[in-house]
Amino acid sequence: MGTSFAVKVDYLAILWYIVHMISLWEKNSFIQYDFIVIGGGIVGLSTAISLKERHKKATVLVLERGMFPSGASTKNAGFACFGSPGELLADIDTIGEDATLQLVQQRWEGLQLLRNRLGDKTIDFQMHGGYSLLKQEEMDQLNRLDTLNETLYPLFEEMVFSSREEQITSFGFPASTIKGLIYNPLEGQLDTGKMMKSLQLFASQAGVEILTGAEVSRLEEDEEMTRVFVESKYNTGEICFRAGKLAICTNAFSKKLLPALELQPGRGLVMVTSPIPSLKFKGVFHYEEGYFYFRNFGNSVIFGGGRNHDLQTEESTDFDINKKILNLLMQQLEEIILPGQDFVVDQVWTGIMAFGPNKLPICRKHSDRIGVGIRLGGMGIAIGSQMGLQLAELLD
Ligand SMILES: Cc1cc2nc3c(=O)[nH]c(=O)nc-3n(C[C@H](O)[C@H](O)[C@H](O)COP(=O)(O)OP(=O)(O)OC[C@H]3O[C@@H](n4cnc5c(N)ncnc54)[C@H](O)[C@@H]3O)c2cc1C
């Protein structure tokens, strides 16, 4: 009697690996994860860290399209804030006192988590307080400060906002335009570059893998797993990563992966001056409901915003510079922030945020295996870590 061999060959699987030039070693070690996070901004990295903290043995991969994070997290102005009076009063009017308090709490707790993880020294966190500059038409905010303080009292147990009108001239702002100043001692500032770099390091030390230059082009999901496709120049076609669960943290760029999401991109322009030896202020400052913002960075001034003066053009995911806004910012620097002082603008850049119909971010499940954490508006430094924690919990 002859021996018969049953040789089973999965031709389809072989064909797939040949076509995509994936080696045995890549297939075994680089493709399959327990969790994949798409997007390596503050939310993506924070989510990955929280996933690793909750599931010590799990494998976690972050896929970031840029060489370094390329959305908002490395482009922002480094304000560690939970909202100017103008913004918060507008929030009270639109979403109510309870939801506003909840939002502020989320920002405040997120900031504490970030500081605890990375350390104030590492991220150059400084608390010089924050100020809102009021023009005549915004002076009504002073009449509503008590309401705002009472709304936030359960969280801070102190009256956070107070008038500091007397400092308008000592800071060098023109009293002809700036009529009021509201102070918040709890606002801080940090070095965004140091923060993001140390967050990457923190994630790596926690065991998170990060691949950069990896733009996800599409997703697939079935009962067993999610598949994430990334174009690869050095493999023919695309590489298909697999994960048990998936977190989408691509903020303003998320519609490419999930077109039905309710979000609008919003471009922000920022500039920095060279050091000004006799700079008269320290801290973070904002006006026009937070649409304009500036701070000291050492003796330099970081200044940005003005999106509200050309909202339609700025609903863009392109990193172009809008000349109308650039000129407006230069004019505001000359007339409001540094009147009568010599300054040179050293650098100008843009970043892309994501907005919705109100300030509430999106942190929810898209399906059993996929969670989404996006739409942080202009306050991601504060909310980012907290959103990562919530998203990781959702994916449990
Ligand atoms: C000009 C400007 C100033 C700001 N100033 C402040 C401030 O002072 N204080 C503050 O708290 N907040 C500020 N913000 C807002 C803050 O930066 C954001 O809320 C926060 O960075 C959002 O983080 P994120 O991780 O959700 O998004 P992002 O940082 O945008 O991260 C998303 C990441 O996903 C990546 N990605 C996108 N699509 C894909 C894909 N298909 N595949 C792989 N990767 C992908 C992107 O490259 C990006 O790195 C500012 C924002 C801007 C633009």
Residue 184 has pLDDT above 60, yes or no: yes
β-pairing, 162-163 with 284-287? unpaired
Rounded to 5 degrees, φ, ψ at 114 are: -60, -45
Contact 35, 59 (CB under 8 A): yes
Query: 244 and 216, same structural domain?
Result: yes
Sign of the dihedral through C-alpha 70, 306, 84, 133: positive
What integer pLDDT is reported at residue 14 of this predicted model? 66
Query: 386 and 330, same structural domain?
Result: no
Q: How many helices (DSSP H) and strands (DSSP E) are in the chain?
A: 11, 18
Query: 267 and 256, same structural domain?
Result: no
- Residue 55 falls within a domain, yes or no? yes
- Residue 242 falls within a domain, yes or no? yes
Query: 367 and 323, same structural domain?
Result: no
Query: 295 and 280, same structural domain?
Result: yes
> Whose CA is closest to atom 53 on ligand 1?
351
- Would you list the DSSP string of 221-241? E-SS-EEEEEE-TTSSSEEEE
Query: 273 and 179, same structural domain?
Result: yes
Q: Which of 49, 50, 70, 286 maximizes ligand 1 atoms within 8 Å of its Cβ, making it the mutation to test the pocket?
A: 70
Is the Cβ atom of 329 under 6 angstroms away from ligand 1? no
> Whose CA is closest to atom 31 on ligand 1?
41
CA neighbor of 279 nearest in space, from 293, 296, 294: 296
- Would you list the DSSP string of 27-41? HHHTSEEEEEEE--S
Average pLDDT of the residues of the chain:
94
Query: 326 and 280, same structural domain?
Result: yes
What is the extent of the structural domain holding 364? 11-73+195-261+360-394
Atom of ligand 1 nearest to the CA of 81: 11
Cα 52 from Cα 60, distance rounded (Å) = 7
Atom of ligand 1 nearest to the CA of 45: 25
Domain with 342 in it: what CATH number? 3.30.9.10
- Residue 79 falls within a domain, yes or no? no
Cα 121 from Cα 355, distance rounded (Å) = 31
Would you mind telling me the total number of residues written for the chain in this entry? 396
> Whose CA is closest to atom 22 on ligand 1?
380
Residue 274 has pLDDT above 70, yes or no: yes
- Residue 220 falls within a domain, yes or no? yes
Q: Where do the H-state alpha helices sit in the chain?
A: 11-19, 24-29, 42-54, 85-95, 97-118, 140-143, 145-156, 167-170, 192-205, 323-332, 380-394
What integer pLDDT is reported at residue 15 of this predicted model? 66
Is the Cβ atom of 41 under 6 angstroms away from ligand 1? yes
Cα 344 from Cα 338, distance rounded (Å) = 11
Domain with 248 in it: what CATH number? 3.50.50.60
- Residue 102 falls within a domain, yes or no? no
Query: 319 and 276, same structural domain?
Result: yes
Place of tokens 């919705």: 356
> Whose CA is closest to atom 14 on ligand 1?
378
Q: How many domains, in total, are found in the chain?
A: 2
Is the Cβ atom of 371 under 6 angstroms away from ligand 1? no
Q: Where do the H-state alpha helices sit in 76-144?
A: 85-95, 97-118, 140-143
Query: 267 and 390, same structural domain?
Result: no
- Higher pLDDT: 23 or 215? It is 215
What integer pLDDT is reported at residue 384 of this predicted model? 97
Is the Cβ atom of 391 under 6 angstroms away from ligand 1? no
Atom of ligand 1 nearest to the CA of 352: 53
Coarse DSSP helix, strand, coil percentages of the chain, rounded to the nearest 5 percent: 35, 25, 40
Query: 267 and 337, same structural domain?
Result: yes
Rg (CA), the chain: 24
Query: 282 and 251, same structural domain?
Result: no
Mean pLDDT along residues 116-123? 98
- Residue 212 falls within a domain, yes or no? yes
Atom of ligand 1 nearest to the CA of 382: 11
- Give the orientation angle of helix 97-118 with respect to helix 145-156, to 10 degrees: 50
Helix (H, G, I), strand (E, B) or coil at 172: coil
Cα 79 from Cα 87, distance rounded (Å) = 15
Question: How confident is residue 20, by pLDDT bands cut at 50, 70 and 90?
Answer: low
Query: 54 and 203, same structural domain?
Result: yes
Distance 109 CA to ligand 1 centre (A): 19
Residue 232 has pLDDT above 90, yes or no: no
Model-level pTM?
0.94
Distance 191 CA to ligand 1 centre (A): 15
pLDDT tens, position by position, 325-370: 999 999 999 999 999 999 999 999 999 999 998 888 999 999 999 9
Is the Cβ atom of 74 under 6 angstroms away from ligand 1? no
- Token pair for residue 351? 């970043």
What integer pLDDT is reported at residue 175 of this predicted model? 95
pLDDT tens, position by position, 279-304: 999 999 999 988 999 999 999 999 99
pLDDT tens, position by position, 316-328: 999 999 999 999 9
What integer pLDDT is reported at residue 18 of this predicted model? 57
Mean pLDDT along residues 50-62? 98
What integer pLDDT is reported at residue 11 of this predicted model? 73
Cα 249 from Cα 143, distance rounded (Å) = 39
